[in-house]
């Protein structure tokens, strides 16, 4: 970035990136609720050899893989920036930790309560991963950024070896405690999509990036620009992804390529996240965020731009869109009634409904900074 804005300014590019994946997430969850042909075997434990895929169905699902890594990573980034600002203003360390624990607990609790009620069974999804990771960051944030980076990278690189000590796809699903920490679990009464430790590693990386951004924006000398750092990161991630996918062994969480078809190159395990999944999504996140940062340098920020609004009201958006999609599918018995056409039409309708609602909520939250809505 050529010009360094004041450290008090909010980076629109972070909100744009978050808003962009909110749109993708809406498409994914509309497909989950209403698309009878939805591709859902993107897990090492659910994959079946010899499956055939519609390119359109595959790309629709594959494009939304960017959502969860972005949410978790940028949650860490935003937390680090806000924490650094509080510390710079003389904020109390115990109060900072208390806030992390409280907000993390509220977010984590939404999955086994509200979201589970909408789904009809006990479920632990991305909100549980974000909230749990946020609570753990109250302790981990005390570590130097280099140590956080090393620990996160060590898990991303070596987590598969440890995971396979507890579980392999041939063994069926492990017990709930192992699943909630390391793997995934699908049963009639319990679904664990986002185990804590793999997703915590992404929040740790996001926290390190947030600390770096805080230093850069405050004028620290000798730091490479964020755009350059993100482009270098993307190149490294894509290169390593191609290497591990080509080797077709370790790093793929046992979901290996069946052929050299482009679909099989991109068909990686999200549940649990493989090394190749994380590398690919981090690379895409880095290159998209670099693009948004370049746009921010040369374009004015529209305060009511849809991506900005959605990005600034992410948790409210998430809760409301799940109520609309899952609630209507259950209420009107419409699960799997359509295909991709219906998925995109419903997604567009939901986004149109949510846009004015998110503008209202943002204004209400700004007008009531000390109310309970500060946790949403």
Q: Is the torsion defined by CA of 105, 71, 281, 322 positive or negative?
A: positive
Of 295, 297, 248, nearest to 276 (Cα)? 248
H-only helix segments in 89-144: 93-110, 116-119, 126-140
Query: Taking the mean position of all CA atoms in its chain, how far away is CA 274?
Result: 15
Distance from C-alpha of 342 to C-alpha of 37, rounded to nearest angstrom: 11
Contact criterion met (CB below 8 Å) for 136 and 200:
yes
**H or E segment at 191?**
strand 190-192
Please tell me what DSSP assigns to residue 267. -
Distance from C-alpha of 355 to C-alpha of 344, rounded to nearest angstrom: 16
Residue 214: count other Cβ atoms within 10 Å of its Cβ: 20
Give Cα separations from 188 to 45, 185, 257, 338, 340 (angstroms).
15, 10, 29, 24, 26
Contact criterion met (CB below 8 Å) for 117 and 327:
no
pLDDT in tens, the chain (376 residues): 344 443 335 799 999 999 999 999 999 999 999 999 998 888 888 887 877 778 999 999 999 999 999 999 999 999 999 999 988 888 888 999 999 999 999 999 999 999 999 988 999 999 999 999 999 999 999 999 999 999 999 999 999 999 988 888 778 888 888 899 999 988 888 999 999 999 999 999 999 999 999 999 998 988 999 999 999 999 999 999 999 999 999 999 999 999 999 999 999 999 999 999 999 999 999 999 999 999 999 999 999 999 999 999 999 999 999 999 999 999 889 998 999 999 999 999 999 999 999 999 999 999 998 888 888 8
Contact criterion met (CB below 8 Å) for 350 and 325:
yes
What's the length of the chain? 376
The 3-state DSSP class for residue 292 equals helix
Distance from C-alpha of 303 to C-alpha of 122, rounded to nearest angstrom: 38
């Amino acid at each position: 970035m050529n010009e360094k804005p004041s450290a008090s300014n909010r980076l629109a590019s972070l909100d744009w990136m978050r808003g962009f994946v909110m749109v993708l997430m809406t498409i994914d969850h509309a497909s989950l609720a209403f698309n009878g042909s939805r591709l859902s075997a993107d897990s090492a434990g659910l994959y079946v050899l010899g499956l055939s895929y519609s390119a359109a169905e595959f790309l629709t699902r594959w494009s939304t893989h960017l959502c969860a890594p972005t949410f978790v990573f940028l949650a860490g980034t935003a937390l680090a920036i806000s924490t650094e600002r509080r510390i710079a203003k003389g904020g109390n360390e115990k109060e900072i930790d208390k806030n992390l624990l409280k907000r993390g607990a509220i977010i984590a609790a939404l999955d086994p309560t509200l979201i589970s009620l909408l789904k009809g069974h006990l479920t632990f999804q991305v909100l549980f991963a974000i909230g749990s990771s946020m609570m753990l960051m109250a302790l981990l944030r005390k570590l130097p950024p280099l140590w956080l980076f090393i620990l996160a990278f060590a898990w991303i690189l070596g987590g598969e070896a440890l995971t396979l000590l507890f579980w392999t796809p041939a063994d069926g699903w492990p017990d709930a405690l192992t699943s909630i920490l390391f793997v995934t679990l699908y049963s009639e009464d319990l679904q664990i999509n986002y185990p804590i430790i793999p997703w915590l590693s992404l929040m740790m990386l996001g926290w390190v990036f947030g600390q770096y951004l805080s230093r850069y924006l405050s004028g620290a000398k000798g730091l490479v620009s964020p755009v350059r750092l993100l482009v270098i990161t993307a190149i490294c991630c894509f290169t390593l992804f191609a290497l591990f996918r080509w080797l077709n062994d370790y790093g793929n969480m046992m979901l290996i390529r069946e052929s050299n078809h482009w679909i099989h190159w991109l068909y990686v395990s999200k549940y649990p996240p493989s090394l190749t999944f994380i590398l690919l999504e981090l690379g895409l996140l880095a290159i998209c965020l670099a693009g948004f940062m370049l746009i921010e340098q040369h374009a004015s920020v529209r305060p009511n731009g849809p991506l900005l609004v959605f990005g600034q009201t992410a948790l409210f958006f998430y809760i409301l869109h799940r109520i609309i999609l899952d609630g209507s599918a259950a209420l009107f018995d419409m699960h799997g009634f359509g295909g991709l056409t219906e998925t995109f039409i419903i997604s567009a309708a939901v986004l149109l409904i949510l846009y004015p609602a998110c503008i209202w909520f943002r204004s209400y939250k700004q007008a009531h900074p000390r109310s309970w809505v500060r946790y949403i």
